[in-house]
Protein backbone atom coordinates (compact mmCIF):
# COMPACT_ATOMS: atom_id res chain seq x y z
CA UNK A 1 0.00 0.00 0.00
CA UNK A 2 2.72 2.44 0.99
CA UNK A 3 5.47 1.27 -1.35
CA UNK A 4 5.02 4.01 -3.96
CA UNK A 5 5.14 6.74 -1.37
CA UNK A 6 8.14 5.23 0.42
CA UNK A 7 10.05 4.89 -2.82
CA UNK A 8 9.13 8.41 -3.83
CA UNK A 9 9.75 10.19 -0.57
CA UNK A 10 10.96 8.16 2.37
CA UNK A 11 14.45 7.23 1.31
CA UNK A 12 16.99 8.69 3.76
CA UNK A 13 18.37 11.95 2.37
CA UNK A 14 21.64 12.91 4.02
CA UNK A 15 22.26 16.23 2.34
CA UNK A 16 20.12 19.37 2.35
CA UNK A 17 20.24 19.58 -1.47
CA UNK A 18 18.73 16.09 -1.92
CA UNK A 19 16.05 16.81 0.72
CA UNK A 20 15.15 20.08 -0.99
CA UNK A 21 14.89 18.31 -4.38
CA UNK A 22 12.63 15.63 -2.85
CA UNK A 23 10.38 18.29 -1.31
CA UNK A 24 10.19 20.03 -4.71
CA UNK A 25 9.12 16.79 -6.44
CA UNK A 26 6.50 16.07 -3.79
CA UNK A 27 5.20 19.67 -3.89
CA UNK A 28 4.88 19.50 -7.70
CA UNK A 29 2.97 16.22 -7.41
CA UNK A 30 0.54 17.67 -4.82
CA UNK A 31 0.05 21.04 -6.59
CA UNK A 32 -2.36 19.60 -9.17
CA UNK A 33 -3.67 22.95 -10.52
CA UNK A 34 -0.12 24.38 -10.74
CA UNK A 35 -0.97 27.67 -8.99
CA UNK A 36 2.17 27.56 -6.82
CA UNK A 37 0.45 26.52 -3.62
CA UNK A 38 -1.06 23.39 -2.08
CA UNK A 39 -4.45 23.86 -0.43
CA UNK A 40 -6.35 21.50 1.89
CA UNK A 41 -8.23 19.59 -0.83
CA UNK A 42 -5.08 19.13 -2.97
CA UNK A 43 -3.14 17.86 0.03
CA UNK A 44 -5.93 15.49 1.08
CA UNK A 45 -6.50 14.11 -2.45
CA UNK A 46 -2.77 13.95 -3.27
CA UNK A 47 -1.89 11.94 -0.17
CA UNK A 48 -4.83 9.59 -0.76
CA UNK A 49 -3.74 9.07 -4.39
CA UNK A 50 -0.26 8.08 -3.19
CA UNK A 51 -1.77 5.53 -0.81
CA UNK A 52 -0.98 7.55 2.30
CA UNK A 53 -3.48 7.28 5.16
CA UNK A 54 -3.47 10.69 6.81
CA UNK A 55 -5.60 11.09 9.93
CA UNK A 56 -9.04 12.68 9.76
CA UNK A 57 -8.65 16.46 9.54
CA UNK A 58 -4.86 16.10 9.19
CA UNK A 59 -4.69 18.02 5.89
CA UNK A 60 -6.51 21.01 7.42
CA UNK A 61 -4.24 20.99 10.48
CA UNK A 62 -1.07 20.79 8.38
CA UNK A 63 -2.11 23.72 6.17
CA UNK A 64 -3.23 25.79 9.18
CA UNK A 65 0.05 25.08 10.99
CA UNK A 66 2.33 25.89 8.04
CA UNK A 67 0.34 28.73 6.44
CA UNK A 68 2.24 31.77 7.72
CA UNK A 69 0.73 34.34 5.31
CA UNK A 70 -2.84 33.08 5.96
CA UNK A 71 -3.75 32.65 2.26
CA UNK A 72 -5.33 29.20 2.90
CA UNK A 73 -2.57 27.32 1.12
CA UNK A 74 1.10 26.39 1.42
CA UNK A 75 3.61 27.78 -1.06
CA UNK A 76 6.82 25.79 -1.54
CA UNK A 77 8.74 27.68 1.13
CA UNK A 78 5.98 27.14 3.73
CA UNK A 79 5.57 23.52 2.68
CA UNK A 80 9.27 22.62 2.94
CA UNK A 81 9.70 24.56 6.21
CA UNK A 82 6.76 22.71 7.78
CA UNK A 83 8.16 19.30 6.71
CA UNK A 84 11.70 20.06 7.92
CA UNK A 85 10.54 21.30 11.34
CA UNK A 86 8.06 18.47 11.72
CA UNK A 87 10.67 15.86 10.77
CA UNK A 88 13.09 17.25 13.38
CA UNK A 89 10.44 16.87 16.09
CA UNK A 90 9.63 13.35 14.92
CA UNK A 91 13.34 12.43 15.04
CA UNK A 92 13.53 13.61 18.67
CA UNK A 93 10.42 11.62 19.52
CA UNK A 94 11.82 8.50 17.85
CA UNK A 95 15.07 8.81 19.82
CA UNK A 96 13.19 9.23 23.10
CA UNK A 97 11.31 5.98 22.39
CA UNK A 98 14.37 4.06 21.21
CA UNK A 99 15.63 3.31 24.72
CA UNK A 100 18.52 1.01 23.71
CA UNK A 101 19.60 3.15 20.72
CA UNK A 102 19.49 0.27 18.22
CA UNK A 103 17.51 2.24 15.64
CA UNK A 104 14.39 0.12 16.19
CA UNK A 105 11.37 0.56 18.49
CA UNK A 106 9.77 -2.60 19.89
CA UNK A 107 6.57 -2.99 21.93
CA UNK A 108 8.47 -3.07 25.26
CA UNK A 109 10.01 0.33 24.50
CA UNK A 110 6.53 1.73 23.74
CA UNK A 111 5.20 0.21 26.98
CA UNK A 112 8.11 1.64 28.99
CA UNK A 113 7.81 5.11 27.43
CA UNK A 114 4.10 5.27 28.24
CA UNK A 115 4.79 4.05 31.79
CA UNK A 116 7.30 6.91 32.17
CA UNK A 117 4.40 9.26 31.37
CA UNK A 118 2.21 7.60 34.00
CA UNK A 119 0.18 5.54 31.52
CA UNK A 120 0.16 1.79 32.21
CA UNK A 121 -0.82 -0.39 29.24
CA UNK A 122 -0.68 -4.16 28.74
CA UNK A 123 1.70 -6.03 26.44
CA UNK A 124 -1.22 -6.63 24.03
CA UNK A 125 -2.08 -2.90 23.90
CA UNK A 126 1.56 -1.98 23.23
CA UNK A 127 1.67 -4.55 20.41
CA UNK A 128 -1.52 -3.10 18.89
CA UNK A 129 0.01 0.40 18.84
CA UNK A 130 3.21 -1.01 17.30
CA UNK A 131 1.28 -2.98 14.63
CA UNK A 132 -0.56 0.17 13.53
CA UNK A 133 2.82 1.76 12.66
CA UNK A 134 4.76 -1.35 11.56
CA UNK A 135 4.46 -1.67 7.76
CA UNK A 136 6.70 -4.69 7.03
CA UNK A 137 5.39 -6.95 9.83
CA UNK A 138 8.71 -7.29 11.73
CA UNK A 139 7.11 -6.21 15.05
CA UNK A 140 9.68 -3.41 15.24
CA UNK A 141 9.51 0.11 13.83
CA UNK A 142 12.53 1.75 12.23
CA UNK A 143 12.99 5.47 11.52
CA UNK A 144 11.58 5.22 7.97
CA UNK A 145 8.38 3.57 9.17
CA UNK A 146 8.04 6.05 12.03
CA UNK A 147 8.54 9.03 9.72
CA UNK A 148 6.18 7.56 7.12
CA UNK A 149 3.41 7.08 9.68
CA UNK A 150 3.65 10.47 11.36
CA UNK A 151 5.05 12.94 8.79
CA UNK A 152 1.57 13.89 7.61
CA UNK A 153 0.08 13.47 11.06
CA UNK A 154 0.15 16.81 12.94
CA UNK A 155 1.15 15.09 16.22
CA UNK A 156 4.59 16.55 16.99
CA UNK A 157 5.84 14.91 20.16
CA UNK A 158 5.38 11.81 22.26
CA UNK A 159 2.78 13.50 24.44
CA UNK A 160 0.66 14.47 21.43
CA UNK A 161 1.01 11.05 19.77
CA UNK A 162 -0.27 9.21 22.86
CA UNK A 163 -2.60 11.97 24.07
CA UNK A 164 -5.64 10.15 22.76
CA UNK A 165 -4.98 7.18 25.06
CA UNK A 166 -5.33 9.30 28.16
CA UNK A 167 -8.60 9.66 30.01
CA UNK A 168 -8.97 13.39 29.57
CA UNK A 169 -11.05 15.38 32.02
CA UNK A 170 -11.70 18.07 29.43
CA UNK A 171 -15.24 16.72 29.02
CA UNK A 172 -17.00 18.75 31.69
CA UNK A 173 -20.46 17.47 32.59
CA UNK A 174 -20.84 19.63 35.70
CA UNK A 175 -19.46 17.12 38.20
CA UNK A 176 -15.97 17.64 39.57
CA UNK A 177 -15.22 14.12 40.75
CA UNK A 178 -13.01 12.90 37.89
CA UNK A 179 -9.33 11.95 38.03
CA UNK A 180 -7.19 15.01 37.12
CA UNK A 181 -5.29 15.33 33.83
CA UNK A 182 -1.75 13.99 33.43
CA UNK A 183 1.06 16.20 32.17
CA UNK A 184 4.56 15.30 30.98
CA UNK A 185 7.67 16.83 32.56
CA UNK A 186 8.15 18.82 29.34
CA UNK A 187 4.66 20.30 29.63
CA UNK A 188 5.25 21.18 33.27
CA UNK A 189 8.58 22.91 32.67
CA UNK A 190 7.45 24.69 29.48
CA UNK A 191 4.30 26.07 31.12
CA UNK A 192 1.97 24.25 28.69
CA UNK A 193 0.14 22.67 31.63
CA UNK A 194 -1.44 25.94 32.77
CA UNK A 195 -2.62 26.64 29.21
CA UNK A 196 -4.22 23.19 29.09
CA UNK A 197 -5.89 23.78 32.47
CA UNK A 198 -7.04 27.26 31.41
CA UNK A 199 -8.54 25.85 28.20
CA UNK A 200 -10.29 23.14 30.23
CA UNK A 201 -11.61 25.66 32.77
CA UNK A 202 -13.01 27.89 30.02
CA UNK A 203 -14.60 24.87 28.33
CA UNK A 204 -16.19 23.91 31.65
CA UNK A 205 -17.48 27.44 32.23
CA UNK A 206 -19.18 27.66 28.80
CA UNK A 207 -20.48 24.09 29.06
CA UNK A 208 -22.01 24.64 32.53
CA UNK A 209 -23.58 27.92 31.46
CA UNK A 210 -25.11 26.27 28.39
CA UNK A 211 -26.64 23.44 30.43
CA UNK A 212 -27.47 25.46 33.60
CA UNK A 213 -31.28 25.23 33.17
CA UNK A 214 -31.10 21.42 33.17
CA UNK A 215 -28.74 21.49 36.15
CA UNK A 216 -31.14 23.70 38.07
CA UNK A 217 -34.00 21.35 37.19
CA UNK A 218 -31.95 18.41 38.52
CA UNK A 219 -31.34 20.15 41.88
CA UNK A 220 -34.99 21.28 42.02
CA UNK A 221 -36.20 17.68 41.53
CA UNK A 222 -33.63 16.23 43.94
CA UNK A 223 -34.91 18.46 46.75
CA UNK A 224 -38.62 18.96 46.05
CA UNK A 225 -39.81 15.90 44.08
CA UNK A 226 -41.41 12.97 45.91
CA UNK A 227 -44.23 10.41 45.45
CA UNK A 228 -46.75 12.92 46.75
CA UNK A 229 -45.20 15.86 44.85
CA UNK A 230 -44.46 14.59 41.36
CA UNK A 231 -42.57 17.14 39.26
CA UNK A 232 -42.32 16.64 35.51
CA UNK A 233 -39.69 18.35 33.35
CA UNK A 234 -42.25 20.57 31.62
CA UNK A 235 -44.11 21.29 34.87
CA UNK A 236 -40.87 22.11 36.68
CA UNK A 237 -39.70 24.56 34.01
CA UNK A 238 -43.16 26.22 33.94
CA UNK A 239 -42.99 26.63 37.72
CA UNK A 240 -39.51 28.21 37.55
CA UNK A 241 -40.47 30.56 34.71
CA UNK A 242 -43.64 31.63 36.51
CA UNK A 243 -41.77 32.32 39.75
CA UNK A 244 -38.72 34.16 38.38
CA UNK A 245 -38.80 34.53 34.60
CA UNK A 246 -36.29 33.25 32.04
CA UNK A 247 -33.21 34.45 33.97
CA UNK A 248 -34.23 32.31 36.95
CA UNK A 249 -33.21 29.22 34.93
CA UNK A 250 -29.57 30.29 35.46
CA UNK A 251 -29.75 30.72 39.24
CA UNK A 252 -26.63 29.33 40.91
CA UNK A 253 -24.66 29.25 37.65
CA UNK A 254 -22.38 32.16 38.62
CA UNK A 255 -20.85 30.37 41.60
CA UNK A 256 -20.88 27.04 39.72
CA UNK A 257 -18.59 28.63 37.11
CA UNK A 258 -16.55 30.59 39.67
CA UNK A 259 -15.52 27.45 41.57
CA UNK A 260 -13.99 25.77 38.49
CA UNK A 261 -10.66 27.68 38.59
CA UNK A 262 -9.76 27.21 42.30
CA UNK A 263 -10.93 23.60 42.29
CA UNK A 264 -8.95 22.74 39.13
CA UNK A 265 -5.77 24.40 40.47
CA UNK A 266 -5.99 22.76 43.93
CA UNK A 267 -6.80 19.36 42.44
CA UNK A 268 -3.87 19.53 40.00
CA UNK A 269 -1.33 20.59 42.65
CA UNK A 270 -2.60 18.02 45.18
CA UNK A 271 -2.58 15.27 42.51
CA UNK A 272 1.08 15.89 41.69
CA UNK A 273 2.02 15.65 45.40
CA UNK A 274 -0.07 12.53 46.07
CA UNK A 275 1.44 10.79 43.04
CA UNK A 276 4.94 11.36 44.44
CA UNK A 277 3.89 10.07 47.85
CA UNK A 278 2.07 6.98 46.59
CA UNK A 279 4.20 5.81 43.66
CA UNK A 280 6.18 2.64 44.40
CA UNK A 281 8.78 3.50 41.73
CA UNK A 282 10.10 7.08 41.27
CA UNK A 283 8.70 8.65 38.10
CA UNK A 284 6.24 5.80 37.43
CA UNK A 285 2.63 5.70 38.56
CA UNK A 286 0.53 2.54 38.27
CA UNK A 287 -3.21 2.58 37.54
CA UNK A 288 -4.31 1.87 41.13
CA UNK A 289 -1.84 4.50 42.43
CA UNK A 290 -3.26 7.03 39.95
CA UNK A 291 -6.78 6.22 41.13
CA UNK A 292 -5.81 6.66 44.79
CA UNK A 293 -3.91 9.89 44.10
CA UNK A 294 -6.81 11.21 41.99
CA UNK A 295 -9.40 10.38 44.65
CA UNK A 296 -7.32 12.03 47.40
CA UNK A 297 -6.70 15.09 45.18
CA UNK A 298 -10.46 15.31 44.52
CA UNK A 299 -11.18 15.07 48.25
CA UNK A 300 -8.61 17.79 49.00
CA UNK A 301 -10.04 20.14 46.37
CA UNK A 302 -13.64 19.46 47.47
CA UNK A 303 -12.73 20.15 51.12
CA UNK A 304 -11.22 23.51 50.15
CA UNK A 305 -14.10 24.71 47.96
CA UNK A 306 -17.03 22.91 49.65
CA UNK A 307 -18.62 26.10 51.07
CA UNK A 308 -19.06 27.21 47.44
CA UNK A 309 -20.88 23.93 46.72
CA UNK A 310 -23.33 24.63 49.56
CA UNK A 311 -23.85 28.20 48.32
CA UNK A 312 -24.40 26.91 44.77
CA UNK A 313 -27.24 24.67 46.00
CA UNK A 314 -28.83 27.46 48.06
CA UNK A 315 -28.55 30.00 45.21
CA UNK A 316 -29.95 27.44 42.73
CA UNK A 317 -33.02 26.84 44.91
CA UNK A 318 -33.54 30.43 46.02
CA UNK A 319 -36.81 32.26 45.50
CA UNK A 320 -36.97 35.71 43.91
CA UNK A 321 -35.57 38.29 46.34
CA UNK A 322 -34.25 35.76 48.86
CA UNK A 323 -30.59 36.66 48.25
CA UNK A 324 -29.19 39.64 46.36
CA UNK A 325 -26.07 37.71 45.36
CA UNK A 326 -23.27 35.38 46.46
CA UNK A 327 -21.97 37.54 49.30
CA UNK A 328 -25.46 38.17 50.64
CA UNK A 329 -26.11 34.41 50.56
CA UNK A 330 -22.87 33.64 52.47
CA UNK A 331 -23.60 36.37 55.03
CA UNK A 332 -27.13 35.13 55.71
CA UNK A 333 -26.10 31.47 56.02
CA UNK A 334 -23.30 32.42 58.42
CA UNK A 335 -25.57 34.64 60.52
CA UNK A 336 -28.50 32.20 60.78
CA UNK A 337 -26.80 28.81 60.81
CA UNK A 338 -23.12 29.33 61.64
CA UNK A 339 -19.95 28.00 60.01
CA UNK A 340 -21.12 24.35 60.22
CA UNK A 341 -23.80 25.03 57.60
CA UNK A 342 -21.08 25.47 54.95
CA UNK A 343 -20.12 21.79 55.35
CA UNK A 344 -23.57 20.17 55.33
CA UNK A 345 -23.57 17.10 53.08
CA UNK A 346 -19.77 16.94 53.13
CA UNK A 347 -19.57 13.22 54.04
CA UNK A 348 -21.77 11.86 51.19
CA UNK A 349 -19.97 14.23 48.79
CA UNK A 350 -16.53 12.86 49.70
CA UNK A 351 -17.80 9.26 49.66
CA UNK A 352 -19.22 9.89 46.16
CA UNK A 353 -15.74 10.54 44.75
CA UNK A 354 -14.67 6.88 45.10
CA UNK A 355 -17.46 5.16 43.09
CA UNK A 356 -17.55 7.98 40.53
CA UNK A 357 -13.81 8.13 39.81
CA UNK A 358 -13.29 4.35 40.13
CA UNK A 359 -16.11 3.30 37.80
CA UNK A 360 -15.43 6.15 35.37
CA UNK A 361 -11.76 5.12 35.06
CA UNK A 362 -12.46 1.37 34.92
CA UNK A 363 -15.16 1.64 32.22
CA UNK A 364 -13.09 4.05 30.14
CA UNK A 365 -10.14 1.61 30.24
CA UNK A 366 -12.44 -1.32 29.31
CA UNK A 367 -13.97 0.57 26.36
CA UNK A 368 -10.52 1.67 25.19
CA UNK A 369 -9.21 -1.92 25.35
CA UNK A 370 -12.29 -3.19 23.50
CA UNK A 371 -11.72 -0.65 20.71
CA UNK A 372 -8.01 -1.54 20.53
CA UNK A 373 -8.65 -5.28 20.28
CA UNK A 374 -11.33 -4.97 17.57
CA UNK A 375 -10.50 -1.94 15.44
CA UNK A 376 -6.83 -0.94 15.93
CA UNK A 377 -5.59 -2.41 12.64
CA UNK A 378 -4.68 0.56 10.43
CA UNK A 379 -4.23 3.23 13.11
CA UNK A 380 -3.68 3.54 16.85
CA UNK A 381 -5.78 6.73 16.95
CA UNK A 382 -9.45 6.06 17.80
CA UNK A 383 -10.60 9.48 16.57
CA UNK A 384 -12.66 12.18 18.24
CA UNK A 385 -16.07 10.47 18.10
CA UNK A 386 -14.79 7.26 19.72
CA UNK A 387 -13.08 9.26 22.47
CA UNK A 388 -16.19 11.36 23.11
CA UNK A 389 -18.36 8.24 23.21
CA UNK A 390 -16.00 6.44 25.63
CA UNK A 391 -15.75 9.51 27.89
CA UNK A 392 -19.51 10.09 27.86
CA UNK A 393 -20.40 6.46 28.63
CA UNK A 394 -17.80 6.09 31.40
CA UNK A 395 -18.78 9.42 33.03
CA UNK A 396 -22.48 8.50 32.86
CA UNK A 397 -21.81 5.14 34.53
CA UNK A 398 -19.80 6.92 37.22
CA UNK A 399 -22.75 9.25 37.77
CA UNK A 400 -25.24 6.37 38.09
CA UNK A 401 -23.05 4.78 40.78
CA UNK A 402 -22.58 7.96 42.81
CA UNK A 403 -25.97 9.61 42.18
CA UNK A 404 -27.71 8.49 45.43
CA UNK A 405 -24.86 10.08 47.42
CA UNK A 406 -25.15 13.25 45.30
CA UNK A 407 -28.90 13.41 46.00
CA UNK A 408 -28.40 12.95 49.78
CA UNK A 409 -25.67 15.62 49.71
CA UNK A 410 -27.96 18.11 47.92
CA UNK A 411 -30.84 17.47 50.33
CA UNK A 412 -28.55 17.97 53.33
CA UNK A 413 -27.17 21.19 51.81
CA UNK A 414 -30.69 22.49 51.16
CA UNK A 415 -32.37 21.27 54.40
CA UNK A 416 -32.32 24.61 56.27
CA UNK A 417 -33.78 26.51 53.31
CA UNK A 418 -36.75 24.15 52.78
CA UNK A 419 -39.76 24.88 54.96
CA UNK A 420 -40.62 22.12 57.45
CA UNK A 421 -37.57 20.07 56.43
CA UNK A 422 -35.91 18.12 59.22
CA UNK A 423 -32.11 18.30 59.36
CA UNK A 424 -30.72 14.80 59.78
CA UNK A 425 -27.48 12.85 59.28
CA UNK A 426 -26.73 10.92 56.11
CA UNK A 427 -27.75 7.44 57.36
CA UNK A 428 -31.14 8.53 58.62
CA UNK A 429 -31.84 10.49 55.45
CA UNK A 430 -31.10 7.48 53.22
CA UNK A 431 -33.39 5.25 55.34
CA UNK A 432 -36.16 7.86 55.24
CA UNK A 433 -35.95 8.29 51.42
CA UNK A 434 -35.98 4.51 50.80
CA UNK A 435 -38.85 3.95 53.30
CA UNK A 436 -41.04 6.72 51.83
CA UNK A 437 -40.16 6.57 48.13
CA UNK A 438 -38.44 3.23 47.56
CA UNK A 439 -34.97 2.64 46.11
CA UNK A 440 -35.66 4.77 43.02
CA UNK A 441 -36.33 7.73 45.30
CA UNK A 442 -32.54 7.99 45.49
CA UNK A 443 -32.52 8.73 41.74
CA UNK A 444 -34.88 11.75 41.69
CA UNK A 445 -33.72 14.25 39.04
CA UNK A 446 -31.51 11.82 37.13
CA UNK A 447 -33.41 12.43 33.84
CA UNK A 448 -32.39 16.13 33.45
CA UNK A 449 -28.93 15.09 34.66
CA UNK A 450 -28.58 12.63 31.76
CA UNK A 451 -30.19 15.07 29.32
CA UNK A 452 -27.38 17.56 29.92
CA UNK A 453 -24.53 15.04 29.38
CA UNK A 454 -24.36 15.06 25.55
CA UNK A 455 -24.74 18.86 25.11
CA UNK A 456 -22.27 19.44 27.97
CA UNK A 457 -19.68 17.09 26.44
CA UNK A 458 -20.14 18.58 22.96
CA UNK A 459 -19.90 22.20 24.13
CA UNK A 460 -16.86 21.57 26.36
CA UNK A 461 -15.00 19.70 23.59
CA UNK A 462 -15.60 22.39 20.95
CA UNK A 463 -14.67 25.26 23.32
CA UNK A 464 -11.59 23.36 24.52
CA UNK A 465 -10.32 22.91 20.96
CA UNK A 466 -10.88 26.62 20.18
CA UNK A 467 -9.11 27.60 23.40
CA UNK A 468 -6.16 25.31 22.63
CA UNK A 469 -5.84 26.99 19.25
CA UNK A 470 -6.21 30.48 20.75
CA UNK A 471 -3.60 29.85 23.45
CA UNK A 472 -1.10 28.54 20.91
CA UNK A 473 -1.14 24.90 22.03
CA UNK A 474 -0.15 22.81 19.00
CA UNK A 475 -2.89 20.48 17.81
Low-confidence ranges of the chain (pLDDT < 50): 1-15, 156-157, 475
pLDDT at 162: 57
Q: Which fold has domain 14-164?
A: Recoverin; domain 1 (1.10.238)
- Asked: is 185-470 a CATH 3.40.50.1580 domain? The reply is no
pLDDT at 40: 83
How many C-beta atoms surround the C-beta of residue 223 within 10 A? 22
Please state, in angstroms and rounded to a whole number, the distance separating the CA atoms of residues 162 and 380.
Answer: 9
Among 230, 231, 250, 229, smallest CA distance to 241 is for 250
Please state, in angstroms and rounded to a whole number, the distance separating the CA atoms of residues 293 and 273.
Answer: 8
pLDDT at 409: 94
Please state, in angstroms and rounded to a whole number, the distance separating the CA atoms of residues 301 and 180.
Answer: 11
pLDDT at 7: 45
pLDDT at 4: 43
Domain spans in the chain, listed from the N-terminal domain onward: 14-164, 185-470
pLDDT at 474: 53
Residues 6+ apart with CB under 8 A from 323: 314, 315, 329, 332
Taking the model in full, what pTM does it have?
0.67
pLDDT at 172: 66
How buried is residue 239: exposed, middle or buried, by Cβ count under 10 Å (0-12/13-18/19+)?
Answer: middle
Please state, in angstroms and rounded to a whole number, the distance separating the CA atoms of residues 187 and 90.
Answer: 17
Amino acid sequence: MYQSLRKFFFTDCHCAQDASKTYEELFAKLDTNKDGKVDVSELREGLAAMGFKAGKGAAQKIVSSGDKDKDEGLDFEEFSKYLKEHEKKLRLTFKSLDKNNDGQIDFMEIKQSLADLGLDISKEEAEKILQSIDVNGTMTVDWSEWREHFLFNPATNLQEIIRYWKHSTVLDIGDSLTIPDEFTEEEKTSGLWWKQLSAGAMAGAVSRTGTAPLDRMKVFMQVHASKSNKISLVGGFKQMLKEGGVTSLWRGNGINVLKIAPETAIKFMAYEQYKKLLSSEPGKVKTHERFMAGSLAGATAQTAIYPMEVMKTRLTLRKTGQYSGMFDCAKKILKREGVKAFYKGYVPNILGIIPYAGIDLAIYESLKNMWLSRYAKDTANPGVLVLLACGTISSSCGQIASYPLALVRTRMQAAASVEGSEQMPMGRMVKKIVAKEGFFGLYRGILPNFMKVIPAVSISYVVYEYMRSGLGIQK
